[in-house]
Chain A
Amino acid sequence: MLRDHVSRRVFLQTAGAVAALGALPAVGRAQAKEVKLGYILPMTGPLAFEAQLSLNGLQLAVDDVNAAGGIKSLGGAKLALLPGDTQQKVELGNSEAARLIDQGVSALIGPFSSLVAYSVRQVTEKNRTPFMLLAAVADNLTEGGLHYVFRVQPNGKAMSTLTMNNMFEMAKTAGVAIKRVAMMHEDGNFGTTMGNHVESFAAKLGYALVQRIPYNLKSPDFTAELSKVKAAKPDLLVISGYYGDSKIIAETAAKLRIGVHALVGLANAAYSNPKFIADNRELTDNLFDGNYWHNPQSARAKAVFDAYQKRFNATLTSHGVQAYTVIGVLRDALERAASGDRDKLRDAIARTNLADHILPQDAIKFDDTGENANASPALLQVQNGKPVVVGPARFAEGKPVFPVPKWHG
């Protein structure tokens, strides 16, 4: 719809330009212009692998936009990605951001780590450069009255409260009451934030948090902790953790016959991870996970998955989905701004109302702080060795198994 509009305008503009310049072909004119977008990601260091997944998503999206004729309101200007490596370090995040801004990027994308993001947002604010957060989920990144920071993916608060909501909706449909919830989370910034939200959300949703156990993610044994959880007789066990710790917890919980209705990951790095599921088939059966995901009902999402598979010989992950979407938001804003000017682009992003996306949510819109007002995680359940979206209901591709018999021993 929007696209038709733009193409007509572009067609007229291009036609006018061709007429004015005589015989110069339209293609030549289009190639003269480009809009630079800078990314800062931890391309080297411990998060190099994940960063590459994000970069793949960015590249795929940029190439899609360019192949479809670039930014039409800018005469078919192509998007160009300028690289920056943070090495997961705050100082490098700042200096790389400043360098890219110097090189004239219209917007900055990144930087994975919330810690780096917290610092870089000062640089982008000072230089009046739109900063699209990628993978950084700390709630406070959009606080402080900043104007240039935007975030498409759910922050920690949205992730945890909406996941609990999804679980409760589902339990209600199944006619099962959830009164007692236990939470285990790694004791770093990520897990603690999730734990705080699950705790403070208890009163609102009407559950009691009967055990909250922060743990060191390097710990090789969680039997004592899980025995405490079992003794508290919870209906749900919620786990915010990384890969290895989450694996050991699921394993030990199964052996202890922990007796809950479900094990629920919260932005868990393992429980909806296809590789984890493939490596641990019977262990992962019927695990739930609230996580960043795509909309399984969207035909466009399917096309993006196929294209990604073909190009990178790997399955698109949520990191790639987020990155792909950020470029979509920027493309839409650039079209409306009809300018690569940072301030104009910022205003256009702020007025975003983008329904054509691949996320499990309604239109992408930003609130006053720059958060995606409709941001929503998906509720997944591992079924037959695959993560299946079971909530929210309108995006679901399968029916949840709940309560899960196996957790009752």
Chain B
Amino acid sequence: MTGDLLLQAAVSGFLLGGVYGLVAGGLSLIFGVLRIINFAHGAVMMLAMYATYWLFTLLGVDPYLSILITGPAFFAFGMLVQRIVIEPNRFAAEHNQLLLTLGLALFLENLALVLWQGDFRTVRPAYAAASFVLADALVEVPRLIACAGAVVMALALFAFLRLTDVGKAIRALSEEPEGAMLMGIDVRRIRAVAFGIGAACVAVAGALVAPFFYVAPDVGESFNIVAFVVVVLGGMGNFVGALAGGFIVGLAESLGATLLPGSLKQLVVFALFVLVLLFRPAGLFGGGHGR
């Protein structure tokens, strides 16, 4: 195995890792505040990718610019879903809440199947084919932009959680729900906001990957399963941990593909998952307290 191959694997794994981190960040935030595992996360990403596709195809909106539309739209969509579907079941048993989000995912995927059929669609702006070579490693421009965009979005959210009142309320709720309630925080609203932010995260991620990916009803699965691994790796509810976990999983996957034969790269990811659960059940960076 030559150094070139490893370098290439490291670069491409790192670039994808940023996207994993953003998707997982949203999932982690939702878990931290609402204490539910949102299986519909990938399905929301899929819807956002369709939104990006239609904006691009019908109105000619650049996928990256469309974030200005889909980001807020999916924030609102997330809040609405939380209010209508999740909130009424807040006191239901945990496994029922799990089934609820799973059901939501199935509903959204089948809705997409009915509305837009199972055929694949491509968002292909002019720069989709752009790439350059950096020290013998290929860097695909759309993937680089996706990674950078994901990191910027994650940092912005981190600042938001640290510096604004709503952000502080989210962290308070994540850390100590009863205390937060007693301090007069409108926890109902904050829960909806957190779910909305989670949805906005995947919406942004969806738009960022669209130029090098494809759009189909089950496209969310490509990121959703990995996102769960990342969340566990980074610590449930730990936003920054999720971003770091994203890079770790991206690198592990890519280096696994280089060093191991065939489809074993998936094995590396899930081996990592099991190992973390066994030895660091709170995640590599500790459980989330609104960090």
B87 at interface by CB-CB < 8 Å: no
Is B175's CB within 8 Å of the partner chain A?
no
In the complex, the answer to whether A223 meets B124 with C-beta atoms within 8 Å is no
Query: For chain A residues 219-262, which have a beta carbon within 8 Å of chain B?
Result: 219-225, 227-228, 231, 243-244, 247-248, 251-252, 254-256
Residue B254 lies at the interface, judged by CB distance under 8 Å to chain A? yes
Segment 201-238 of B: residues with Cβ below 8 Å from A = 209, 212-214, 216, 218-219, 221-223, 225
The stretch of A99-107, A120-128, A279-287 in contact with B is: A279-287
Residue among B8, B122, B129 making CB contact with A223, cutoff 8 Å: B8
Name the distance in Å between A155's Cβ and chain B's nearest Cβ.
24
**For the complex, what is the distance from the CA of A187 to the CA of B257, rounded to whole Å?**
14
Pairs across A and B, CB under 8 Å, 25 listed: A46-B113, A46-B118, A48-B118, A213-B262, A216-B263, A220-B19, A220-B213, A220-B222, A221-B13, A221-B143, A221-B253, A223-B9, A224-B255, A224-B258, A227-B258, A228-B5, A228-B257, A231-B4, A243-B119, A244-B214, A247-B214, A270-B120, A279-B121, A280-B124, A283-B129
Q: Which chain B residues border A280 with CB–CB below 8 Å?
A: 122, 124
Beta-carbon contact of B262 and A224 below 8 Å: no
Q: Is B2 an interface residue (CB 8 A)?
A: yes
Of the candidates A187, A213, A215, A227, the one having the most CB atoms from chain B within 10 angstroms of its own CB is A227
B200 within 8 A of partner (CB) = no
Q: Is residue B289 within 8 Å, beta carbon to beta carbon, of the partner chain? A: no
Chain A neighbourhood of B2, CB < 8 A: 231
Could you say which residues of chain B place their CB within 8 Å of the CB of A219? 222, 265-266
Interface residues of A (CB under 8 A from B): 46-50, 187, 212-216, 218-225, 227-228, 231, 243-244, 247-248, 251-252, 254-256, 270, 275-276, 279-280, 282-283
Q: Name the residue on A nearest B120 (C-beta).
A: A243
A215 to B266, CA, bound (A): 9
Find chain B residues with CB under 8 A from A255 CB.
Answer: 129, 131, 138, 140
Q: Which of B121, B209, B263 contacts A220 (CB 8 A)?
A: B209
Contact partner of A214 (CB less than 8 A), chosen from B5, B225, B262, is B262
Chain A residues closer than 8 Å to B89, beta-carbon distance: none
- How far apart are the CA atoms of A335 and B13 in the complex, in Å? 61
The complex places the Cα of A17 from the Cα of B26 at a distance, in Å, of: 77
Q: Does B96 contact A (CB under 8 A)?
A: no
Q: Check B197 for interface membership: any CB of A closer than 8 A.
A: no
In the assembled complex, the Cα of A282 lies from the Cα of B126 at a distance in Å of 10
What DSSP secondary structure best describes chain A's contact surface? Answer: helix
Contact of A227 among B8, B122, B140 (CB under 8 A): B8
B5-28: CB near A (< 8 Å → 1, else 0) gives 100110111001001000000000
A254 vs B140: C-alpha distance in the bound complex, in angstroms?
11
A-contacting residues, B118-161, CB 8 Å: 118-122, 124, 128-129, 131, 138, 140, 143
B257 and A225 within 8 A (CB):
yes
Nearest A residue (CB) for B224? A218
Q: Are B5 and A227 in contact (CB under 8 A)?
A: yes
Q: Is the pair A224, B5 in contact by a Cβ cutoff of 8 Å? A: yes
Given contacts A220-B16, A220-B213, A227-B4, 4 further A-B contacts (CB under 8 A): A223-B9, A243-B120, A270-B120, A275-B119
When A and B form their complex, which 7 residue pairs have the shortest distance between CB atoms, in order from nearest?
A: A223-B12, A224-B257, A279-B122, A244-B214, A243-B120, A224-B9, A255-B131
- Rounded to whole Å, the gap between the CB of A398 and the closest CB of chain B is 25
| A-binding residues in B (CB < 8 A) | 2, 4-5, 8-9, 11-13, 16, 19, 113, 117-122, 124, 128-129, 131, 138, 140, 143, 209, 212-214, 216, 218-219, 221-223, 225, 253-255, 257-258, 261-263, 265-266
Least CB separation from A254: chain B residue = B129
Task: Indicate if the CB atoms of B124 and A279 lie closer than 8 Å.
Answer: yes
Distance of A252 Cα from B8 Cα, bound (Å): 12
**A246 → B minimal CB distance (Å):** 10
Cβ-closest chain B residue relative to A221: B16
Instruction: List, in ascending order, chain A residues with CB within 8 A of B113's CB.
Output: 46, 48
Checking B131, B143, B263 against A187 with a beta-carbon cut-off of 8 angstroms, the contacting residue is B263
Inside 8 A of A223's CB, which chain B residues have their CB? 8-9, 11-12, 138, 140, 254
Which A residues are CB-close (under 8 A) to B131? Answer: 255
Nearest chain A CB to B207's CB is how many angstroms away?
15
CA–CA, A247 and B214, complex, Å: 8
* A48→B122 CA distance, assembly (Å): 20
Q: Are A49 and B5 in contact (CB under 8 A)?
A: no
In whole angstroms, how far apart are the Cα atoms of A248 and B213 in the complex? 7
**A48 nearest CB across to chain B (Å):** 7
Residues in B neighbouring A275, C-beta threshold 8 A: 119
Query: Contact at A224–B219, with CB atoms within 8 Å?
Result: no
Q: How far is the CB of A275 from chain B (nearest CB, A)?
A: 7
A248 to B215, CA, bound (A): 12
Q: Do B122 and A247 touch across chains, with their CB atoms under 8 A apart?
A: yes
Contact A252 B140, CB 8 Å, known A214-B262, A223-B8, A227-B258: yes
The distance in angstroms between the C-alpha atoms of A366 and B8, with both chains bound, is 50
- Does B122 contact A228, Cβ atoms closer than 8 Å? no
C-alpha spacing A276/B16, complex, angstroms = 24
Q: Which of B2, B122, B209, B221 has the most CB of A within 10 A?
A: B122
Nearest B residue to A215 via CB reads B263
Q: What residues of A have a CB within 8 angstroms of the CB of B119 in the complex?
A: 49, 243, 275
Residues of B within 8 A of A187 (CB): 262-263
Nearest neighbor of B141 in chain A, beta-carbon distance: A255
User: In the complex, which residue of chain B has the Cβ closest to the Cβ of A220?
Assistant: B222
Contact A244 B120 (CB under 8 A): yes
Q: Report whether A244 and B219 are in contact in the complex, using a CB–CB cutoff of 8 Å.
A: yes
